[in-house]
Structure formats: structure tokens, C-alpha cells
Structure 1
Amino acid sequence: MTPTPTRLSRTIGALLGVHAGDSLGATLEFAPWATIRSSYPTGLRSIIGGGPFNWPAGHATDDTDLTRAVLLAYRDGSAATATATASAAATTAAATTAADFDVVRAAADYMLQWYGGAWPGRTAGTPPVDIGNATVLGLRRYRASGDPRRAGAGAGQAGNGSLMRCVATGLFRAEREKRVRESMEISAVTHDDRRCTVSCAAYNEMVFALLAGRTPEEAVEAGLDLVGELDCKPVEEAINRGRLLQLQEIVEDGPGDELPGRAAGYVLESLILAVAAVLDPRPLVDVLVDVVRVGSDTDTNGAIAGGLLGVRDGAEALPEEWKEKLQFRKEFEEVALKLVESRES
């Protein structure tokens, strides 16, 4: 019998699950289902790099890079709190700094660093090779206005570019009200359409429930409960469609009416796939390989599903041959350890 993953294992699993899904899918990004089926009849099961942007094996694409941006914001917030409470003699100024720390602004600032090339593996002053339109628009607006809460691309821009990066909020924000608010506000830096903001909030309710050891079914219910409170029918319908979708059938027959956009970047179709994935009882590797086999936006769909699968099954469920290739493995493990320890101390 497989031992129950620890909280630390689930936390690392979520972060590396995003990274692994991203890196696995990067090879086949934009490829349709039929092409993938022809080239990899049983799915791509190794992280090999390449793809339309010729990635080195395990290199982060925008999915992992922007997940890192949000993760580092939570790391910095935790550090500010630790500094302020290090001793009974903590200064008023330090306490004020911790209280005033704005994780939304911090995440947006890290996103701007990434956008400007001040990022590991990048050349300063060069733009990312892979970036969505809403992300470009939102970050340019933030750079011009300095207000992360009024920078989003606007209603109608409902891509999956904020859902792919949101997992850290579900992992490191225990208070439900803050978790929901920050999930939505960090999304809205670039993607402020309610389908995006509510999808991020619902996803992070699932993450938090899985982190606490609840079953996948209970986690999905937690997400649905929140969506009901927020009264967002499109997201509610997407989650319910994900509950019914059989991933193994999709990869054998190809995406049909259940994914009319062929999972090519629409936030609700990525959410459908992620819900179907976390409810699939098979081992993480088999499920994540099948998510990528669906085709189209393979790296982002893999990242989003990988986050839920990683928190469900823990870091041990990810093959070492995958983990050893991941660009940010060491950093993600170290930050996760610090944040989990600070929460438990």
C-alpha cells in the first residue's frame, strides 16, 4: 500500500507537477491530437525538450516561469512576517512592513521581471518567446499604471494564462477569505475575466483540500461550493463537465463536443481537463501523459493538471528521471520546505 504523502511531499508535488506537466507538454505544444497519436501512439513519456520553441529538456516555459513568480511572492511575504516576529523586540517598522506586504503587487513585479528578461535562463531586455496576448496586455498596463488590480486585459480575454500559474496561493494561504481573494486578484493582474478569476479560486480550493488530505471527489466539491458562492455558472458547468469526462476515451477517440475548442487555450477547457485528471484514479504519470495526448495547448494543460495531480499523489509519484531534468527543481523544493516549516513553527 502506498503511504499517504506528507504535507511537504504534497506541496513539492504540486510545484514540480506544474513544472513536469509544462516540460512534458512543451515538446508537443500546438500539435493536434491526430499528430500526437501518430508520433506517440501511447503518449510521450519522457521529458525531451524541443517543440516549436526548441526548449532544452526540462526548461521552464511561461507556465512554470509565472508559477515561480507567484511562488516567490509568497516566499517574500513569509520572510517579511518572519522578520517582524523574530523576537518580542521586533520593531514597529518591521511589523508594519509585514502587515503592509502586498503579495499581489509582489507577484506582478516578479512577472514584470520575467517579461523584461531579468530571469534565470534569459537575457535581460529580451521578451519571452512564449507569452499569451492577455499576459502581454496586462503586464504592459501594470508597468504603465503601477496598479496591479487595474491592469487586466478585460472581459472577453478568457485564456488559461492565469490558471496555469496560480497554485502557490492554494498551497500557502490557509485562510479561506485571503486564499479566494488573492487567487482572484493575482489572476486579474493579467486575466480579469470572471471565468479566469473564479477558475483560479476554485482550482486553489481543490489544491487546499487535497493538501489537507481530502479525497479528489471532496476536493472537487470544495471547488464547486466556492463557485456556487461566487455565482459563476460557466465555471460551475466546466467543473461538472470535468467530473463526467473520461480522459482515456478522449485520448483514444480525440476531443469532440466535450472540448469544442480542442483544449487550445480556453481557461474553462483547461479546467475541465484538470478536473477529469485529478478524478482519474490511475497513477500520476499515466494521467499526465494522457492530458498531453489530448493535444493543442499541451504545456499549459499539462501544467494545470500536473499541479492537482502532484498535490494529490505527492512528489514521490513523479519519476526521478523527470524531476532531475526540471530547471527549477532545487529552488521549488527549497522554497516549499521553508514555507511549510514556517507554517508549522
Structure 2
Amino acid sequence: MSLDSIQLDRAIGAVVASAAGDALGSQYEFGPQHPDTMVPQFGEGVFGHAAGEWTDDTSMAIPLLDALAAGNDLGDSATQSEIVARWIEWSRKAKDVGAQTRSVFTGIRGDVTADAALRASRTRHEQHGRSAGNGSLMRTGPVALGYLTRPPAELVGAAGAIARLTHWEDDNADACALWCLTIRHAILTGELDVRAQLVHLAAPRRDRWAALVDESLMPGAHPRDFSAQNGWVVRAFQAALTAVAGATSLVDAVERAIRGGNDTDTVAAIAGALAGAVWGGSAVPLDWQRRLHGWPGYRASDLVRQAALATRNGASDAEGWPTAARQPTYPRSDFLARHPHDDGVWIGSLAALDRLPAEVDAVVSLCRVGTAQVPAHCEGVQVWLIDQPGRNPNLDIVLAEAADAVAALRAEGKRVFLHCAEGRSRTAAVAALYGGKHRGAELPQAWDDIRAALTGFAPQAFLQSAVERLVSSAQPRSGIVRG
């Protein structure tokens, strides 16, 4: 089974939205609860993380993601040993490492192996009588991507094994398994259904977790209800679940998690993984994606690449995406023109990336691009927009975000190139929306002006309808970035 474009979008969302929640929640960590009117903003984290920089939650998830992106099996002891080694390498210079995790790393004797980590993890648990911090759950999201087409029992085993490398207690293995199963189900179906996954837990512990899930899904429940102990894996699980279950959008889910207070970055990272699996990576605001960065020097585009590879057992698709330096271009569709309503914006096709004017220093791509196709001096903004009806679950959000990204880049003084594969349909739609929404053009005139500028003008009917809907509607849309 191969994933369709919507399922792939959701798989990518599980990674990108988690990192976004982590980075957005960083400056509110250990802080108070917040009212529903508070809109979280990016800022410097409590431990000195820069605005938009993810913390230990995402940094510890990346070795899992990278292992899957390389085609490795998380159930293999050699893979687990490599993950532990990377965690320890990261921890040496990390701004923050959880107390439980650092204790395990310190307790490893001799060679750094999965077995050594397990011994240290178990010893730490036996010495203290507990080891159920939320540090295992915060990093678990990527695990699901390697088991989308495999039996659920294998996912349960892998999630539990990875959890126990630092957190021995059964609550960690159960929470990670249940969360990964729920992410898996959401990616494959688009549905949030935790209860259906309970059957995969060990029978003696199933009823307890069913009660915990029911408590999280009570009408009116909020992450604030669980904030007092959300450093505990069980309460972090409940806080993240109620954040997503009570949300109307991905953004709402992440913001609800942060408003709960206390361990905000971790709860928002956990919630983001599930919210991304439900609503998709295309629901993550581009403004958030542009800011994201962190160890080991990754940005949002790197997370997208690694997530896509993880779902394909490390393999690229037939056109080499997402690892090829270049994506195929269409010589007969080599279009490049100035936007008729803004001479600081150029519009065209993928092929035109090879002959951009020297003034261009930002590229907004409405199609897949190769890893080396956007000029090195340009900021690249990737937009997930499929040029086929019924393939974009967040169509209005994506179109508006693309136009808003062009406007934001222009406000920063950048010269922008907006393009899709052939410069016919997606480019035309977003260019018209930009003109109508941000440049004061009447939409009929905007369409006419774009048609005159763009030789290959041929927007799909569903895109035209969406643009007209967005320009005519003055109502705020759930999920769009604010501020």
C-alpha cells in the first residue's frame, strides 16, 4: 500500500506540527494557565531557545525520524543503539535535557548501546520507584510513520521499546503505544479515534487507560484540567488528547495545549503530532513553518523531507522526490513575468528557477522542488497545493496562506518569485488572490491582468472558485495564522 497525497500530507503534519507546537510553547514553559483569549506567539524560550527554535521534545524525535527516513527498523537493536548514541551526542550541547533522560545517559557504562541504555533506564526506575515523566511521549510521534502499513502489534512493540530506552515504567510504554496507534489511524483515515486503539494494549492495563481516555474526552474538558501534573506522562497524554479533541483546527489544538500552562512546549509537541495527523501538514501556518529551526540544523523543509522518506521506508518516489537535486521541468512551460499589481513579485513556472532575475531573494513554491533547485541565496517557502480537485483537505487555508506569505515576504523587503510546475493553474490562482486580497485589485480585473501576464494561464475551476470565495468572504477562517 502506498499513501495518497492526503495521507502523506497528514504523515508530514505529524512531524511538522509537533515541532511547531514545541517551538511555540517554549517561552510559556512552567508558566501559568492562560485564558482562551490569549494567542501564543513565538519568543525566546525559558532555557534560551531562540524564537522558532524547537527544544528537546523535537530534538529527541529527530533521531527516530532520521532512522526511519534511512529505511531502518526501530525494532532493531542496532538502530536503537544508533539512536541512543545520537541522543547522547545532542545532549552534550543541548540547552535543556529532562532530568530523567539525563540521569539515564549518565548511568550508561561502557559502550553506548540500546542494551546499556535499557539497563540504565531500569536501574534508575528501581532506585527511585518511578520513571513516568513525559519525556518518552514527547518524542514518540515519528514512530508511527514507520508502521503505517504494518500490523499494529509491531507499532506497539516499537513504541514501547523506544520509550523504555529512557523511561522504564509501563505507563510510558502504554502512553507511547496508544498515541502512536492514534496517530497511525488518523494518518490513514483522517479520524481521531483513541478508543478503537485500546484493544492493542496489554489486557491487564486496558481498563485503566480506557478510563483515562474517557476522562480526557469529557464534554468541555481542557488541557488546563490536567496542567498541575502534566510533567507526568499520563497527565501529559490527557492534556494533549483533550487539546486535540476539543479543537476546531490544527492551530486551535496547539494553542489550547499551550493555554493549559506548566509544561507547555511538551504538551503542545505531543498534541501537535496528533493534530498534524488529523488535519495535515498543509494546515500548519506558513508563518510558523518559516520560523521553525533547531538541532541538528534542520528547518521545516528538512522535516518534510524526512517525514516523507519515513513513510516510504527510506525511498524517494519515481521522480526522485524528496531527495533529488532537481524535479522535472517542462521546457514548453518556461514562463516568467512580473506580477501586474506588484513589480516586486515575479510569477511563472518551475523551469524559470534557472533564470531568475538577480533581484529575486525569496521563492514561494506551489509544487515540489528539488533540494538544489531554489537558488542558494533565496529563502524558499514550500506550499502543499495539489492541482487536482478533491486532493486538498485544507484548500482555502493553503491558498490564503500562500498569498499571505507573498505579502509577508514583500513587507520584509524581499523580491519574490511565485511559481508552480507549469505556471498555468496554481500560479495563476495564488497570483490573482494576492492581487485581490493584498493589492486592492477587483477580482475580475485581477484575473484579466494575470491572464495577460502569464502566457500559460489556465487555472483549474476548483481553484478559481476557491479564490473567489476567499476574496468575497470577510469572515476570519479557523486555522489561519493571526498576528
Which category of TM-score, normalised to the shorter sequence, fits these structures? 0.7 to 0.9
Aligned to 1:92: none
Aligned to 2:456: none
Partner Cα distance (2:75, 2:257) in 1: 41
* Corresponding letter in the other structure for 2:119: R
In the TM superposition, 1:8-157 aligns within 5 A as 8-33=8-33, 36-37=34-35, 42-46=37-41, 48-76=42-70, 78=71, 102-117=78-93, 128-142=94-108, 144=110, 146=113, 147=115, 148-152=117-121, 153-154=124-125, 155-157=129-131
Aligned to 2:181: 205
Identity, in percent, stands at 26
Partner Cα distance (1:220, 1:112) in 2: 33
Q: What secondary structure is seen at the aligned counterpart in 2 of 1:54? A: coil
Cα offset, 1:73, TM superposition: 2.1
Partner Cα distance (1:204, 1:190) in 2: 17
Whether the 8 Å CA contact 1:66–1:111 is kept in 2: the answer is yes
* Corresponding letter in the other structure for 2:37: T
Question: Which is higher, the Rg of structure 1 or of structure 2?
Answer: 2
Cα offset, 1:215, TM superposition: 1.7
Q: Which has the higher helix share?
A: 1
Partner Cα distance (1:100, 1:310) in 2: 27
Whether the 8 Å CA contact 1:104–1:182 is kept in 2: the answer is no
Q: What secondary structure is seen at the aligned counterpart in 1 of 2:228? A: coil
**Which stretch has the larger CA shift, 156-165 or 273-282?**
273-282
Partner Cα distance (1:185, 1:291) in 2: 27
Whether the 8 Å CA contact 2:146–2:313 is kept in 1: the answer is no
Please say if 1:242 is aligned against 2:237: no
Cα offset, 1:273, TM superposition: 1.5
229 and 69 in structure 1: CA distance in 2 versus 1, 3 angstrom threshold: same
Partner Cα distance (1:227, 1:245) in 2: 25
Partner Cα distance (2:53, 2:146) in 1: 25
Q: What secondary structure is seen at the aligned counterpart in 1 of 2:291? A: coil
Q: What secondary structure is seen at the aligned counterpart in 2 of 1:151? A: helix
Partner Cα distance (1:65, 1:245) in 2: 34
* Corresponding letter in the other structure for 1:59: E
Partner Cα distance (1:110, 1:187) in 2: 15
Normalising by the residue count of structure 2, what TM-score does the alignment of the two structures yield? 0.57
Aligned to 1:278: 244
* Corresponding letter in the other structure for 2:66: L
Runs of 4+ in 1 over 6 A off after TM superposition: 98-101
Normalising by the residue count of structure 1, what TM-score does the alignment of the two structures yield? 0.79
Whether the 8 Å CA contact 1:209–1:222 is kept in 2: the answer is no
Paired residue total: 298
Cα offset, 1:232, TM superposition: 4.9
Q: Return the structure number with greater relative CO, CA threshold 8 A, min gap 6.
A: 1
* Corresponding letter in the other structure for 1:43: M
2:307 pairs, out of 336, 341, 345, with: 336
**Which stretch has the larger CA shift, 234-243 or 55-64?**
234-243
Cα offset, 1:237, TM superposition: 2.9
222 and 142 in structure 1: CA distance in 2 versus 1, 3 angstrom threshold: farther
1:313 pairs, out of 274, 279, 296, with: 279
Q: Which has the higher strand share?
A: 2
Structure 2, gaps ≥5 residues long = 294-298, 318-483
Partner Cα distance (1:185, 1:99) in 2: 7
Cα offset, 1:55, TM superposition: 2.0
* Corresponding letter in the other structure for 1:150: R
Partner Cα distance (1:99, 1:5) in 2: 27
Aligned to 2:200: 226
Please say if 1:268 is aligned against 2:234: yes
Aligned to 1:6: 6
342 and 171 in structure 1: CA distance in 2 versus 1, 3 angstrom threshold: closer
Partner Cα distance (1:195, 1:101) in 2: 22
Cα offset, 1:131, TM superposition: 1.6
6 and 66 in structure 1: CA distance in 2 versus 1, 3 angstrom threshold: same
**Which stretch has the larger CA shift, 150-159 or 297-306?**
150-159
Cα offset, 1:230, TM superposition: 5.9
Q: What secondary structure is seen at the aligned counterpart in 2 of 1:272? A: helix
Cα offset, 1:245, TM superposition: 5.7
Cα offset, 1:144, TM superposition: 4.1
CA displacement 1:73-131 (0-9 Å, x = unmatched): 2223x0x68xxxxxxxxxxxxxxxx99663322322221121123xxxxxxxxxx2222
* Corresponding letter in the other structure for 2:205: D
RMSD over aligned Cα atoms: 2.6
Aligned to 2:396: none
2:135 pairs, out of 153, 161, 164, with: 161
**Which stretch has the larger CA shift, 268-277 or 301-310?**
268-277
